[in-house]
Amino acid sequence: MSQQHASAELTLGTTGVARRGVDAAESRVANRVWWDADADDYHAEHGDFLGAADFVWCPEGVREEDARLLGDVTGLRVLEIGCGSAPCARWLRREGAEPVGLDISAGMLRHARAAGAATGIDVPLVQASADQLPFAAGSFDAACSAFGAVPFVADVAEVFREVRRVLRPDAPWVFAVNHPMRWIFPDDPGPAGLTVTHSYFDRTPYVEVDGTGRATYVEHHRTLGDYVRALVGAGFLVEDVVEPEWPAGHERNWGQWSPLRGKLFPGTAIFRTRTP
């Protein structure tokens, strides 16, 4: 049991890790209960780094204010997928966009409602899964996700098809995920996280389970090629894959992200894509 997530693991009765197949339904349930159980600890630990109305893409600290990966969002209807407490959506609102925050977890959305009330920045929130978007075709001008949903769904191609369906033509879809090469190392910010222990080519999901074998947390791995194929297959144009370098002077760890590892290899991949 990791110290970082001890409370969620206790609540869910997590007893160990399995590597096994997990379908779409089991992935959805596991991640909904996981993020519900971890929502308070997640925000106690990362809330100040994320900010109340700030768009931070990744533990390396890339901000949309500087990177402008979505371009000018003024007046655009933007869907944020896996919004958590929705600091990115509130930043987009301040920039003059009309964001909608979507997340599978009521616990995370509870934090979003509280932060909306505290900041006075009102953003519509929807509880749903990224692979089952409850919106009409062509209802958004842009979509984004900062580590929300994409690593956690069983069928990433289905998410991309759904995002493609709800976007209008010439619309950006930009999302950040764990860099696929992180899969080969243990989730350890220290020296133990520098030794390869797992095959990059093994897509068998990482699954935490309770005493009955029920999944309590699920993460899915795709290689860089898998991502590009799924994006192109869904009809997106891939414009860039940003691999942020660890900034000098940035000393803060975030789980397995640390200055030690960040100086040697990427921890985040941000895919910048667009509908034709």
Ligand X SMILES: C[S@@+](CC[C@H](N)C(=O)[O-])C[C@H]1O[C@@H](n2cnc3c(N)ncnc32)[C@H](O)[C@@H]1O
Site string for ligand X, 9-28 (x = CB under 6 A): -------------------x
Q: What is the dihedral of CA 273, 180, 204, 13, to 10 degrees?
A: -100
Q: Is 129 in the site for ligand X (CB under 6 A)?
A: yes
Pick the piece of the chain touching ligand X (CB under 6 A) from 8-16, 100-108, 165-173, 194-202: 100-108
Q: Is 31 in the site for ligand X (CB under 6 A)?
A: yes
Nearest to residue 104, comparing CAs of 155, 163, 150, 73? 150
Residue 246: partners with Cβ closer than 8 Å, 6 or more residues away: 60, 259, 262, 263, 267
Cα separation, 237 vs 196, in Å, equals 33
Closer CB to ligand X, residue 124 or residue 195?
Answer: 124
Cα separation, 248 vs 261, in Å, equals 13
Q: Is 147 in the site for ligand X (CB under 6 A)?
A: yes
Among 69, 76, 146, 177, binds ligand X (CB under 6 A): 146
From edge to edge, which strands make up the β-sheet containing 206-210? Answer: 14-19, 206-210, 215-219
Strand partners, 175: 145, 271
Q: Is 104 in the site for ligand X (CB under 6 A)?
A: yes
3-state secondary structure of 23: coil
Pick the piece of the chain touching ligand X (CB under 6 A) from 4-12, 98-106, 113-121, 225-233: 98-106
Closer CB to ligand X, residue 21 or residue 199?
Answer: 21
Q: Is 103 in the site for ligand X (CB under 6 A)?
A: yes
Cα separation, 145 vs 79, in Å, equals 9
Pick the piece of the chain touching ligand X (CB under 6 A) from 68-76, 103-111, 135-143, 255-263: 103-111
Closer CB to ligand X, residue 151 or residue 195?
Answer: 151
Place of tokens 């991640």: 31
Name the residue with the smallest CB distance to ligand X.
Answer: 84
Total site size for ligand X, rule CB under 6 A: 19
Cα separation, 272 vs 145, in Å, equals 11
Q: Is 178 in the site for ligand X (CB under 6 A)?
A: no
Q: Is 148 in the site for ligand X (CB under 6 A)?
A: yes
Q: Is 227 in the site for ligand X (CB under 6 A)?
A: no
Cα separation, 116 vs 124, in Å, equals 10
Find out whether 103 and 82 touch, Cβ atoms under 8 Å. yes
Q: Is 108 in the site for ligand X (CB under 6 A)?
A: yes
Cα separation, 273 vs 253, in Å, equals 29
Closer CB to ligand X, residue 83 or residue 171?
Answer: 83
Pick the piece of the chain touching ligand X (CB under 6 A) from 97-105, 177-185, 237-245, 265-273: 97-105
Handedness of CA 249, 251, 254, 258 (dihedral sign): positive
Among 9, 22, 35, 171, binds ligand X (CB under 6 A): 35
Which chain residues interact with ligand X by CB under 6 A?
A: 28, 31, 35, 50, 82-84, 103-105, 108, 129-130, 146-149, 152-153
